[in-house]
Amino acid sequence: MNITEDNNKRLKDIQKIEGISDKDMAVLLKPVRINRSTLSIKGKKYPAWRILYNEALGPGKGGIRFHPGVNEDEVKSLAFWMTLKNSLADIPYGGAKGGVAFNPKVASKAELEEVSRKFIDVFYKVLGQDKDIPAPDVYTDGQIMSWMLDEFEKKTGRHEPGMITGKPVELGGIALRGDATAQGGYLVTKKMAAAFLAGKKNVKVAVQGFGNAGLFMAQKLHKDGFKVVAVSDSKGGIYQVTGLNIPSLIAFKKAGHPVGDFSSGKQITNAELLELSVDILVLAALENQITKQNAENIKANYLIELANGPITYDADRILAKNKKIVVPDILANSGGVIVSYFEWAQNRTGQILDEDYLRKLLEKKMKDNWQRMYDLWKEKKEKVTLRQAAYILAVTKVIVAEKLRGRIKG
Ligand code: NAD
């Protein structure tokens, strides 16, 4: 499945709805720069990428993914979504992303460190606090960010903590970053529930993916009284119609067990989880999970894209036809990059900001950004999807910035 083709189709639809010229839209059709390399480690070769998609609004910003399935089309698409996400979030960043086709789950700690340092060795010249700023993504974490920062500083001979975010607090990170993506997703889910599910009791939720995004999301929803009936990880899922004991399940997962082995509940596959009869389906794993093959079978009326790109273009159309409401990735999972921006700003100014203040700022940003998207959706008489409303806001801002810079003439 080619994700770039899907993204281009989405842009074409926006172009038609808003009457955007080909010349204006051209700036969003391809990345500014693709850096490719191969990391050679102990006779093994791992393809690696850092892609800067657009930098009209500021330096590139986006995570680094370690996963055996990583490929150029995926990294390019993730960098494209970062461009729109940062634009919609109103933070001064362009969009970028990195990835290594490598499976950290079967690697030793020493190998993991070597891959992390090698990534910086080959790409450090295009990175930096004013150029392009990485962060964690799937199967990368604060330890990996620490090795990367250390390698970058060794190469450049100076301290520059703002070159990477998602760092442990000891190296200039902020504690809030840990669950920020889920916190942002939770806040927009509350806004969505207030708009569409007001007064409904016992709202049933299924969560696909139980990592940084999915685990904290399940925890927050459970704590707030949502009934989380199913969760899954890469090995499969667990379903309990009366609601799962999420704190016990988190302890079980943290002890190193797959969620499917949890003692109370029925084992299900990831495919089955997606088609459960629930109110809200949270997608927090990988892209292309809902496609034209399974979109007709989706029973949840509300879908939250905590993962990037979990729904294909064709599936989007089927879901829209069936009146399903999808809260798009570029809004739903933007909490992580918003808090990364706080971290970067602190690193750059040397000023330490109060965590409670930052927590409130994140909340305000998420709610305001939801509202702008929702208001535009209403203004368009609900004839577009929420994703299209979000894309219109994000795309327009990038084009305006390109024009102000004089890069689009006329
Ligand atoms: P993670 O590595 O912490 O966790 C990934 C989870 O997905 C794991 O539980 C894994 O078992 C599960 N998984 C992997 N393949 C799966 C499959 N085929 N089916 C079901 N589950 C599967 O990663 P994360 O940070 O939670 O990222 C998840 C998604 O959220 C990605 O799309 C990522 O780009 C997006 N995201 C993450 C952040 C962040 O700050 N972590 C920010 C924005 C977006």
Domains detected in the chain? 31-171 (3.40.50.10860), 180-332 (3.40.50.720)
71 assigned to a ligand binding site? no
Q: d(Cα 27, Cα 212) in Å, to the nearest integer? A: 32
> What's the pLDDT at 409?
81
The closest-lying atom of ligand 1 relative to the alpha carbon of residue 140 is 2
**How far is the centre of ligand 1, averaged over its atoms, from the C-alpha of 154 (Å)?**
30
User: What percent helix, strand, coil does the chain show, rounded to 5?
Assistant: 50, 15, 30
**How far is the centre of ligand 1, averaged over its atoms, from the C-alpha of 258 (Å)?**
14
- Write the residue with the smallest CA distance to atom 19 of ligand 1: 234
State whether the beta carbon of 86 lies less than 6 angstroms from ligand 1. no
12 assigned to a ligand binding site? no
H/E run at residue 322: none
Residue 197's Cβ-count burial label (10 Å; 0-12, 13-18, 19+) is: middle
pTM of the predicted model, to two decimals? 0.97
The closest-lying atom of ligand 1 relative to the alpha carbon of residue 258 is 11
212 assigned to a ligand binding site? yes
Beta bridge partners of 5: none
> What's the pLDDT at 84?
98
Ligand 1: which of 137, 140, 290 to mutate, most ligand atoms within 8 Å of CB? Answer: 137
**Alpha carbon separation from 310 to 88, 286, 313, 314 (Å, rounded):** 19, 6, 10, 12
> What's the pLDDT at 387?
98
State whether the beta carbon of 232 lies less than 6 angstroms from ligand 1. yes
Side chain identity, residue 191: K
Annotate 330-358 with b (16+ C-beta within 10 A) or e (fewer): bbbbbbbbbbbbbbbebbeeeeeeeeeeb
Query: Among this protein's residues, is 397 annotated catalytic?
Result: no
Q: d(Cα 31, Cα 94) in Å, to the nearest integer? A: 11
Residues of the chain scoring pLDDT < 50: none
